[in-house]
Structure 1
Amino acid sequence: MSHQRYPSTHDAVKEPHSVSLKVLRLSRPSLVTQFPLQPPLSATSVPSTGRRPPPIPASLAYDPRDLLRDGTLTDPPAVNPDPFILSPIVNLPPSFGSAYVGETFSCTLCASHDAFGSVVSSDEGDVSPPATHKTIRDVRIKAEMKTPGSGTVVTQLELIGPDSSPEDDKKGGVDLAPGATLQKIVNFDLKEEGNHVLAVTVSYYEATEVSGRTRTFRKLYQFICKASMIVRTKPGLLSATGTGKGRRWVLEAQLENCGEDVMQLERVVLDLAPGLGYTDCNWEASRSAKPVLRPGETEQVCFVVEEEGEDGKGVEEEEGRVVFGVLGVGWRGEMGNRGFLTTGKLGTRHVKPPASAVVKKIAA
Structure 2
Amino acid sequence: MTRLSRPALSQRFPLPLPPKSSTAYINPNAALDLKPGETDDEFIFNPVLTLPPAFGSAYVGESFSCTLCANNELPGDAERHVSSVRIEAEMQTPSGTSPLELRQSEEESPSLQLKSGESIQKIVQFDLREEGSHTLAVNLSYSETTMSKDLSASSGRVRTFRKLYQFVARPCLSVRTKVSSVPNANTEDGQKFLIEVQLENLADGTIILKAVAFNTKPAFKSTSLNWDLARPDVQHSSCPSVAPRDVLQIAFLVEQRIDGPSKEVTKDGRTTLGQLSIQWRSSMGDTGFLSTGWLTTKRK
State the TM-score, normalized to the length of structure 1: 0.64
Task: Tell me the CA shift for residue 175 of structure 1.
Answer: 3.1
Question: Superposition pairs for residues 50-199 of structure 1, below 5 Å?
Answer: 93-116=52-75, 133-148=79-94, 150=95, 153-163=96-106, 165=107, 168=108, 172=110, 174-199=112-137
CA, structure 1 residues 112+199, in 2 after alignment: closer, same or farther (shift >3 Å)? same
How far apart in 2 are the matches of 1:347 and 1:172? 54
Q: CA deviation at 1:273?
A: 3.1
- Matches of 2:105 and 2:249, distance apart in 1: 44
Contact 1:238 1:249 in 2 (8 A): yes
* Distance in structure 1 (CA, Å) of the matches to 2:168 and 2:156: 40
After superposition, what is the alpha-carbon deviation per residue over 1:129-160, rounded to whole angstroms, capped at 9, x for unaligned?
A: x5xx3232221111111112x1xx31111212
Q: Quick one: which of 158, 177, 198 aligns to 1:214?
A: 158
In the other structure, the counterpart of 1:349 is 298
Q: What's the CA shift for 1:229?
A: 1.2
* Residue 173 to residue 103, structure 1, CA distance change in 2 (3 Å): farther
- Residue 173 of structure 2 aligns with an amino acid whose one-letter code is M
| Structure number with bigger Rg | 1
Query: Aligned residue pairs: how many?
Result: 264
Stretches of 4+ moved more than 4 A in 1? 86-92, 171-174, 239-243, 309-312
CA RMSD of aligned residues (A): 3.2
Residues 5-58 of structure 1 show CA distances to partners (whole Å, capped at 9, x for unaligned) of xxxxxxxxxxxxxxx22222x1322236xxxxxxxxxxxxxxxxxxxxxxxxxx
Confirm whether residue 293 of structure 1 aligns to residue 231 of structure 2: no
Once residues 176 and 157 of structure 1 are traced to their aligned partners in structure 2, the CA distance between those partners, rounded to angstroms, is 23
Alignment CA distance shift 1:141-1:349 (3 Å): same
- Greater CA deviation, 306-315 or 329-338? 306-315
Give how far 1:278 is off: 1.2
Instruction: Please give the TM-score of this superposition, normalised by the length of structure 2.
Output: 0.76
Which residue of 2 is the match for residue 225 of structure 1? 169
| Matched residue, 1:284 | 228
Query: What residue number does 1:27 align with?
Result: 7
Do the aligned residues in 1 keep the contact of 2:93 with 2:134 (CA within 8 Å)?
yes
1:322 aligns with 2:271: yes
1: CA distance, partners of 2:194 / 2:2: 54
Change (3 A) 1:87 1:182: closer
Q: Distance between the aligned counterparts of 2:111 and 2:291, measured in 1?
A: 38
Distance 2:7 2:119 in 1: 21
Q: Distance in 2 between matches of 1:92 and 1:282?
A: 36
Helix, strand or coil: the match of 2:168? strand
Residue 246 of structure 1 is matched in structure 2 by 190
User: Where is the helix percentage greater, Structure 1 or Structure 2?
Assistant: 1
Contact 1:246 / 1:314 at 8 angstroms: preserved in 2?
A: no
SS of 1:143 mapped into structure 2: strand
Q: Residues 81-118 of structure 1, C-alpha deviation per residue, up to 9 Å, x if partnerless?
A: xxxxx885957533111112222211110111221466
Q: Which residue of 2 aligns with 1:72?
A: none
Which segment drifts farther, 293-302 or 337-346? 337-346
Gaps of 5+ in 2: 18-43, 147-152
Q: 1:104 to 1:23 in 2, by over 3 A?
A: same
Q: Residue 179 of structure 1 aligns to which amino acid in structure 2? A: G
> Shift in Å at residue 339 of structure 1?
1.9
**Structure 1 position 173, deviation (Å):** 6.1
How far did residue 338 of structure 1 move? Answer: 1.9
Q: What letter is aligned with 1:100?
A: Y
1:313 aligns with 2:245: no
| Residues 237 and 249, structure 1, Cα contact 8 Å, conserved in 2 | yes
What is the CA-CA distance between 1:244 and the residue it aligns to? Answer: 3.5
Aligned-partner Cα distance in 2 for 1:226–1:87: 23
The range that moved more, 193-202 or 319-328, is 319-328
The Cα shift of 1:241 comes to: 4.6
Aligned-partner Cα distance in 1 for 2:185–2:222: 14
